[in-house]
Chains A and B, each alone.
Chain A
């Protein structure tokens, strides 16, 4: 069997977080635009036999809704979406997300695309998994330049949840909203606590011994390369070719 691709490890890692028994149940998960690895993770959860409804917002044909793209936000407003994925141009140690830009508002030094639905989804979804492959001091910063969506809210502000975890190309962090602080959960093979610290702009906690992020199981790998890939082909052809075509070759 070919070596485990980094994308496969990330998808299996996200799937494990989705299934975390200590977190609120994920009965309905939504996945936004340009998110092939979170989408693969959700399909993996489904193909492992878990009864979860997936709303993939950028399927090329069809879509999960009949009331237009606002239906996602209406569902979320009611509390019917249990889990969502968010990223950011910058993510800070208090789990604040910046999708606006750097420099004076509205991002005169570097302009990111914009906040999308983050200012709403992050607060109204019981669980958010933060995902950003690039793990560098320019992305994981001490303090974001602008807050698109806050990691925690003042007492009295209506909010259902926040970040469960932050998954990057180097490691997995858990987030504790009471302490507004990340703790290193595992590092991917080839990384260490030191390499993560070097590449992270914010302070975080780490237990004395930090395990490696586990490999996908043979069953997970087989599903990713078979049934999951088949579901992903239409929406993410370039991703499927990049990750899986080398194996066919």
Chain B
């Protein structure tokens, strides 16, 4: 397996691509999102799996995004996602609201190669009223009178995330965060940044194998040390709350956001050790 540079990895995503991203609790591809913003990709359709945070807000602010499908966009304790909120208000972003288990279920349908899967709940929510692609049918396995929602399979063109390591066989390791495996299985291409490359084949190690995503699903890998920053990476490093608070503060205004881009995206400033 040949490792790409970070910018070469970002160059693989064409304008208009349907790009899925993990949330801010771990393994989010912070460095990759900054590389995409630096490249100036356009009209991305993002999928927040199941919610979106820093990376999505950054890409929205940088003018890279036409649409987002997600269950929420938030900076967690740093508050609302400012560029997302501004874009919704300005009407420059299409938002397809969802609810967390619906995002997971649509990806699980794609993983299985079936056209749809049912999900309980949701009936009576206005989310459903704004999702013409979600259907309600009468449960065909019951005697009638049991409405249930059907969700279409969701096949992202790309998923990008930051994993701990990649091996010589092209496998990557994400630990217990198995929804990333579902996401990689569902997407046409998985672009993965990693902290480090390791020798051998992790699928030969019983202790590592349960946390592995097989190289079958991985299209390209780049090494990006501290590539999740400012988001946490499992037990490797923690969430940089001070930086996300700084982002939230600057991104409150368009000018402040430009300052953030100059400082942390275009200048390629080194990540604090």
Contact = CB atoms under 8 A, between A and B. Distances in A.
Contacts of B264: none
Interface stretch (A41-49, A106-114, A134-142): A106-114
Interface stretch (B10-18, B83-91, B164-172, B197-205): B83-91
B145 A156 contact: yes
A31 to B, nearest CB: 14
Nearest to A67: B178
B126 A148 contact: yes
A69 B89 contact: no
A120 B99 contact: yes
B235 A156 contact: no
A113 B25 contact: no
A93 interface: no
Given A68-B176, A157-B124, A34 B76 contact: yes
A100 interface: yes
Contacts of B269: none
Interface in A75-131: 76-77, 99-101, 105-109, 111-124
A113 B72 contact: yes
B111 to A, nearest CB: 11
A148 B102 CA distance: 13
Nearest to A125: B121
A164 to B, nearest CB: 18
Given A68-B179, A106-B130, A107-B88, A60 B238 contact: yes
Nearest to A236: B77
Contacts of A66: 176, 178, 210
Contacts of B124: 123, 147, 149-150, 153-154, 157
- Where chain A touches its partner, the secondary structure class is loop
Contacts of B81: 113
B51 to A, nearest CB: 7
Nearest to B87: A111
Contacts of B101: 70, 73, 76-77, 117, 120
Which of B25, B122, B127 gathers most chain A CB within 10 Å? B127
A68 B126 contact: no
Interface residues of B, number: 55
A225 interface: no
A105 B146 CA distance: 28
Contacts of A153: 123-124
B267 to A, nearest CB: 29
Contacts of A34: 76-77
Interface in A134-187: 146-150, 153-154, 156-159
Given A34-B76, A68-B182, A99-B72, A105 B121 contact: no
A157 B122 CA distance: 10
A107 B126 CA distance: 12
Contacts of A76: 101
A58 interface: yes
A116 B77 CA distance: 15
Contacts of A63: 176
Contacts, number: 155
Contacts of B104: 69-70, 73
B147 A116 contact: no
Contact of B71 (A105, A111, A115): A115
Nearest to A153: B124
Contact of B99 (A61, A115, A157, A159): A115
A100 B233 CA distance: 29
A67 B177 CA distance: 6
Contacts of A191: none
B147 A148 contact: no
B100 A69 contact: yes
A222 interface: no
Given A70-B101, A73-B100, A111-B89, A120 B121 contact: yes
A115 B72 contact: yes
Contacts of A112: 80
Interface of A: 33-34, 58, 60-63, 65-71, 73, 76-77, 99-101, 105-109, 111-124, 146-150, 153-154, 156-159, 238
18 contacts: A34-B76, A58-B25, A68-B177, A69-B177, A70-B50, A73-B104, A105-B126, A108-B88, A111-B85, A113-B73, A116-B100, A120-B122, A123-B123, A149-B124, A158-B147, A158-B148, A159-B121, A238-B77
Given A114-B70, A154-B123, 13 more contacts: A66-B210, A69-B100, A69-B179, A76-B101, A100-B126, A111-B80, A113-B73, A115-B127, A119-B121, A119-B128, A148-B125, A153-B124, A238-B77
